[in-house]
């Protein structure tokens, strides 16, 4: 998508959605991470929730590089992501929200050119996550699909989904934090094919507000259980109660360290 690149219509169009609200500090880095991709066939969409801190000014600075810009009040991050899905024109979609970055400028090329033959019949592509907390970056391994009852295999920033599939199952706005988990568990239960990219990570995700640092850890685990309960077996549900209890106790202990 760099200036020197012109769209190659033989390549699949990739829709990239960036959702933002009052994040003037991080939005520019995310936008540049998208527009500096060497892959040329990108449908870039930004959904702003009605920011008042200068975020919109930064978005407009790059409007010649962004296919669609929407700014206005919404019902939260998943409502905004649904708006982006509705507008998407690509064969594939990914949600790279403010603060998130692609792992490098060639990642789309690596997937949709170099691994093009591997994508036949695939509906979801996912990878490990590069998690950034301040200046420390750690690689977090993707969860095995057979353990999805514990949580999503990867974060939505590290998942490309067939746009047709995403449009058929909008994010459930009843979930404040785990709507993407609900979506990915639902699709797996429907029998769609997943492809795990073990060679590299798709994105760097901001973990500065991660699980162990939030006062809502109990709520997160409760919502996680509600999602899992819809699709998992009775035994998996009982195991998840134990796992989530241990996670919650660990989060409390960490706060006192």
221 and 169, same structural domain?
Answer: no
| Residue-level pLDDT at 188 | 96
232 and 170, same structural domain?
Answer: no
254 and 139, same structural domain?
Answer: no
44 and 60, same structural domain?
Answer: yes
For residue 7, tell me if it sits in a domain.
no
Place of tokens 């997160």: 220
Tens-place pLDDT, residues 165-185: 999 999 999 999 999 999 999
d(CA 243, CA 228): 13
| Residue-level pLDDT at 57 | 97
Cβ-based neighbour number of residue 169 at 10 Å: 15
| Residue-level pLDDT at 134 | 63
75 and 183, same structural domain?
Answer: yes
* E strands, the chain, in order: 14-20, 42-48, 68-71, 92-95, 101-102, 124-127, 129-133, 136-140, 159-162, 194-197, 203-206
Total structural domains within the chain:
2
Cβ atoms 236, 193 nearer than 8 A? no
| Residue-level pLDDT at 1 | 63
Along the chain (257 residues), what's the average pLDDT of each consecutive run of 10 residues?
A: 60 97 96 97 97 96 97 96 98 97 96 94 96 78 92 93 98 95 96 94 76 63 93 93 87 74
Residues spanned by the domain of 241: 210-257
CATH of the domain at 23: 3.90.550.10
| Residue-level pLDDT at 213 | 44
Task: Identify the three-state secondary structure at position 233.
Answer: coil
257 and 135, same structural domain?
Answer: no
214 and 201, same structural domain?
Answer: no
d(CA 118, CA 171): 27
246 and 143, same structural domain?
Answer: no
For residue 246, tell me if it sits in a domain.
yes
Q: Which residues contact 222 (CB under 8 A, 6 or more apart)?
A: none
112 and 75, same structural domain?
Answer: yes
């Amino acid at each position: 998508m760099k200036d020197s690149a012109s769209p190659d219509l033989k390549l699949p169009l990739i829709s990239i959605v960036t959702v933002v609200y009052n994040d003037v500090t991080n939005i520019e880095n995310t936008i540049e991470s998208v527009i500096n991709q060497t892959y040329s066939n990108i449908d870039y969409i930004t959904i702003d929730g009605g920011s008042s801190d200068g975020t919109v000014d930064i978005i407009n600075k790059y409007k010649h590089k962004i296919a669609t810009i929407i700014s206005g009040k919404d019902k939260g991050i998943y409502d905004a992501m649904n708006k982006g899905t509705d507008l998407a024109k690509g064969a594939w979609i990914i949600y790279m929200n403010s603060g998130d970055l692609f792992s490098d400028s060639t990642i789309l090329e690596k997937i949709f050119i170099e691994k093009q033959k591997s994508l036949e019949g695939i509906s979801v592509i996912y990878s490990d996550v590069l998690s950034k907390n301040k200046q420390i970056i750690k690689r977090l391994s993707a969860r095995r699909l057979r353990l999805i009852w514990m949580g999503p295999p990867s974060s939505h920033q590290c998942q490309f989904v067939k746009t047709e599939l995403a449009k058929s199952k909008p994010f459930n706005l009843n979930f404040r934090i785990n709507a993407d988990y609900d979506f990915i568990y639902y699709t797996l239960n429907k029998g769609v094919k997943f492809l795990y990219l073990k060679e590299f990570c798709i994105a760097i995700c901001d973990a500065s507000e991660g699980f162990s640092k939030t006062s809502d850890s109990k709520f997160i685990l409760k919502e996680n259980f509600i999602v899992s309960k819809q699709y998992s077996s009775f035994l998996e549900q009982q195991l998840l109660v134990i796992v989530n209890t241990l996670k919650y106790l660990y989060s409390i202990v960490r706060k006192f360290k």
